Structure 1
């Protein structure tokens, strides 16, 4: 059953302006927030301006919460959870929007700086699923944090300002690439060859003599002069190598956005805004969970596998004066969740990888995936028919344009989300998000109308689920 194009809903200039205004705000967010830490800092600033209080501070001061309160808590600077407290007991469950804010990239190794053939180079380890050949010969930026021995934190952001230099990974010229061109795509560029070139001027001694590894020495001198950091400080650093430059409007009609990190910030941003925009008193508590580490399996303290969410709900119960272990277990079981993650958009250029009747399409609204996984649905949550029916009813009630999909042809590949982790608590969960072209590439493409319909869908969900 073919779904209608969502743009037909926005025929007047006034209605279109709403779509384009929200998309422009998102485009700026995507341009500014290329790491998990940057996303969390952005969300905290916006949340506090919208009246959200820091839950950690409330706990420390022994204060109580009540219906109507709006609170947030951040986990190690790389995960954030927000709540709009409802009138019903938490025991009845929470309506949850869960998305991730990490994206495929390259991370600097702990000892990254070396020199070879009069070039200063940074060694990397790629993060998440990437086609390695896509990351060569494009401008790259360095984002992250370095922690010095004395505990001082140094923020690094080089390559985004027009006055900044950019960095990059070289590729073999076509004239000498006969052997390279015979390799399989996965081997055209090897993981250990993702070396970022960062300098070529050597440092000379006062006598004018070139020192050993003089180019590396000169780069380290520049870093020390600008940031006050030593080579050893890379050991306690998290520096991410990401595409440089802002997200851009895409297409003559500006109907799309081209940028790095749509997966999954294109779902995280409307999830956050759905809570912020909700001014009415909700019956059930609403929550947005924006987590780290999804691209590598949701592991670690800031991934969805962590017990941070569960512990936070326990603290919330306590601040509401209603804590018991049994009520906590009931609350988790009674939650309803949209695991808000992107879907693969049908690409007519690569039509053979998709099954047309069960694919997501740009411009046809927010996407619902009953299941993800690979091969025989391995690793999938697989939402129940009853829950899918409930979600359908909510979307239709609020006139949200939506579509259903699965990830390509059977046995073609596969992928997963955080849905199964929420399902482990016996929650009702379905995957929901925005269709993306060129997913996991340095620059991905989304439709502005799909982004806006995702916002409307998430707003409808927290009100009516």
Structure 2
């Protein structure tokens, strides 16, 4: 039987995962590293996969990764069970010529990425992380320790700050990282030093900010877990753990993990859910099993996608922002996400399936629906359903402070999501 210790152990491992994944590129590599440690074989997109007809495999495309395990009973018409999530989070991304500054301060030129809660990034130490592309074409992962900070203006200089706080996205979101003149410093050299490369060889980069503080458990009876990038590394981590377990138990379907980049900015990239990555992998997987086009289409009708992303817990200080009846709360289980306008892909068939998987896992399920006056976001779920025609259901865990630099989840919910994912992928 699962215990509170199991949930705390899962949270501790999630903290390790988040620390190792400060950018989408690091997250994809950490997914591949963990799966390779569990016996998965890494494939390269430019190589033949025709021999990859059985066993366990993982492939990385930029900041996205897809992994699967083919059971010995698989045929050309075997369906897949996909657990989908995303690797990116809202924040800031380095602009060209990022070493800036004024009045004796070194600053970083950054652009807002996605929809972060800007005020949550104030007065906390930040890391830089991402990839450097060198003059020989190689991608190199790079990350710093605590390096930057967005210092808030003192209340003495803005007496109305507690009545309203509105940050100018250009002039008031450029973090400081040192003292001196910009002509005598090089922010990219800080990244290059950590990656052990010559900064003069850098020809391109994709670098973002991340909270430098580690994730941690707190609260009465250790019920809370706070960390940066819970949206959506909580789901990515649960999917990795579930796939490792399902690789040994699935028999009548192919369990598959698909984690995409750029969800926070619309998914319309080669490594996003709206791109061809998943469909390309599925086609090559089925070709390896000898499937023709008709068998591939038959397989899709026997397949599922669970799109896992965080949702809103009811907030005790802002109850009017939530539906007056459907009010999921931290610590009461994963959520089934429902929207009449198909911002989530859940329908009645998907709801029944998800509730069944939760029951099989012994996990209490909750539902989420928005207040009619508060528009909801969307996920990779409707995108995947539209691209593949595959039955899709949107789920996740309830959190507070979504899109903050540091978000809040329930320890038991993180563990329960993993348990349901194992039941779903493992059959």
Scaled by the length of structure 1, what TM-score is found?
0.84
Unaligned runs of 5+ in 2: none
Deviation string for 1:303-358 (max 9, x for gaps)? Answer: 001111111111111222x1322222333343211111111111101111112421
Measured in 2, the distance between the counterparts of 1:378 and 1:269 equals 29
Residues 101 and 285 of structure 1, relative CA distance in 2, 3 Å threshold: same
Matches within 5 A, 1:53-452: 53-56=41-44, 60=48, 62-66=50-54, 69-76=55-62, 78-86=63-71, 87-89=73-75, 91-151=77-137, 153-160=139-146, 166-178=147-159, 185=165, 187-201=166-180, 214-219=181-186, 223=190, 226=193, 229-230=198-199, 233=202, 236-278=204-246, 279-320=248-289, 322-371=290-339, 377-378=340-341, 380-406=343-369, 408-424=370-386, 425-452=388-415
CA apart distance, 1:75: 1.0
Pairwise CA RMSD: 2.5
Tell me the SS of whatever aligns to 1:349.
Answer: coil
- Per-residue CA deviations over 1:136-189 (Å, capped at 9, x if unaligned) read 2211111122223343555432125xxxxx311232222222576676x5x334
Contact 1:148 1:229 in 2 (8 A): no
CA distance in 2, matches of 1:48, 1:106: 31
Q: Does 1:18 align with 2:3?
A: no
* The 10-residue stretch of structure 1 (322-331 or 434-443) with the greater mean CA deviation from structure 2: 322-331
Q: How far did residue 257 of structure 1 move?
A: 1.1
Alpha-carbon distance in structure 2 between the residues aligned to 1:420 and 1:221: 38
Structure (1 or 2) with the larger CA radius of gyration: 1
- After superposition, the Cα gap between the structure-2 partners of 1:150 and 1:49, relative to the gap in structure 1 and judged at 3 Å, is closer
Decide whether aligned partners of structure 1 residues 22 and 339 sit closer, same or farther in structure 2, where only a CA change above 3 A counts.
same
Q: Distance in 2 between matches of 1:224 and 1:56?
A: 27
Q: Retained in 1: the 8 A contact 2:58–2:65?
A: yes
Aligned-pair CA distance for 1:380: 1.8
Say if 1:91 and 1:331, in contact at 8 Å, map to a contact too. Answer: yes
- Residue in 2 that maps onto 1:163: none
Inter-CA distance 89–220: structure 2 relative to 1 (3 Å threshold): closer
> Which one is further off, 123-132 or 328-337?
328-337
| Structure 1 residues not aligned, in runs of 5+ | 1-8, 161-165, 202-213, 372-376
Q: Is the 8 A contact 2:338 2:394 kept in 1?
A: yes
- Give the 3-state SS of the residue equivalent to 2:325 in structure 1: helix
Q: 1:327 to 1:432 in 2, by over 3 A?
A: same
Q: Give the TM-score normalised by the residue count of structure 2.
A: 0.91
Structure 1 pair 35–403 and aligned structure 2 pair: CA distance change class (3 A): same
Q: Which is richer in helix?
A: 1
Q: Secondary structure at the match of 1:415?
A: coil
> Aligned equivalents of 1:224 and 1:286: distance in 2?
37
